[in-house]
Structure 1
Amino acid sequence: MTSSKTPRNRRLLRWALGLSLALNLLVLSAIGGALWRHRGMGPGRDHLPGLRSYATPYVQALPQERRRALHRDMHAGQQAPHLNRQARRAHYAQMLAALRAEPFDPAAAQAVLTRQSDAVASVQTAAHAAWLAQVGAMSTAERSAYADALETQLKDRAWGRGRRPHESP
């Protein structure tokens, strides 16, 4: 009498277990990706720090309202026109075209690299200006508290596995 329901129940149980496993893997992957991105894990991160790794402590040490203002300044005024994804994608598309061209033209690839370098420099310049505006607007007490928060950020980052700021890599 219950034998007709048993195969269906087993099938539902298998589906439920499979779905549960898939959701668990999805959550673990999201957590792992966040840790990889935000905690500096991964190959080459200690050896070739990028702009983001240099700027992160400065930004994270800012009080929340100043951090939001900094991001607003960076995006609202289009101080850094190369922040938009379309411009970055266009550069990559140009490089792909240069790499696939026959015969290969190193000058064309160099021109794309130069445009990308100029884009990075414009973003960096805008970031510096926005950060200086935020820090310049601080009172002496706020700036002192910010310096303390920055020092804490730098200590918490362990400077590349135990090195201090004044030590060589």
Structure 2
Amino acid sequence: MSRGWKIAFALSVALNLAVLGLVAGAFLRHGGPMMQPGAVADGGFGPLAEALEDDDRRGLRRDFLSTRPDIREIRKERRVDAARLLTALRAEPFDPAALQSALAEASRRTADRIADGQSLLVKRIAAMTPEERAAFANRLERTLSRGHDRDARDDRDGNGRN
């Protein structure tokens, strides 16, 4: 792989991490898009969180925040990750290993937060009665159908992926 492609790949990964950081920041500050009714978020469980009842959604957010009580520390970690990334990108001579290390650390922290959220989501669903879980499954099915219908419509209109 040429140096230009490596840099382009690294910038693409960095942009993806930045977007994920913004989503995580919105979640931590305001409950984020995954906690808002009618919204679908990335992170592997957005539609699941959307299908929760409002009380469960609020409880999930409260549980998540209780596992990470120091929001300032999370923000500090994100700033450190961003600074490491920028330093690696601006270094001359360019050191791909330093960039890889910065990206790996940022990815690890993000993956840890996502795993925590997924564990809490499973715990909340496991605490539901069979009737609540069935109602949740019905809401999830409707949520997923809306997304599927939207994707199909975008494909027909030429606005979606081919």
* TM-score of the two chains, using structure 1 as the length reference: 0.61
Q: Which residue of 2 aligns with 1:127?
A: 117
Take 1:58 and 1:141, find their aligned partners in 2: how far apart are those partners? 17
Q: Which residue of 2 aligns with 1:13?
A: none
Take 1:65 and 1:92, find their aligned partners in 2: how far apart are those partners? 35
1:64 equivalenced with 2:54 (yes/no): yes
- Identity in percent: 32
Change (3 A) 1:39 1:139: closer
Take 1:147 and 1:61, find their aligned partners in 2: how far apart are those partners? 8
Rg comparison, structure with higher value: 1
Aligned length: 118
Take 2:131 and 2:42, find their aligned partners in 1: how far apart are those partners? 27
Structure with bigger helix share is 2
Take 1:83 and 1:155, find their aligned partners in 2: how far apart are those partners? 38
Contact 1:80 1:126 (8 Å CA) reproduced: no
Contact 1:61 1:146 (8 Å CA) reproduced: yes
Paired letter, 1:67: R
Contact 1:94 1:112 (8 Å CA) reproduced: yes
Secondary structure in 2 matching 1:157? helix
Contact 2:64 2:116 (8 Å CA) reproduced: yes
Secondary structure in 2 matching 1:52? coil
Structure 1 ranges of 4+ moved more than 3 A: 79-83
Deviation for aligned residue 1:159: 5.8
Change (3 A) 1:75 1:159: farther
Secondary structure in 1 matching 2:80? helix
Query: What do you get for the CA RMSD once the two structures are aligned?
Result: 3.0
Deviation for aligned residue 1:84: 2.2
Higher RCO structure, 1 or 2 (CA under 8 Å, sep 6+): 1
Q: Which residue of 2 aligns with 1:6?
A: none
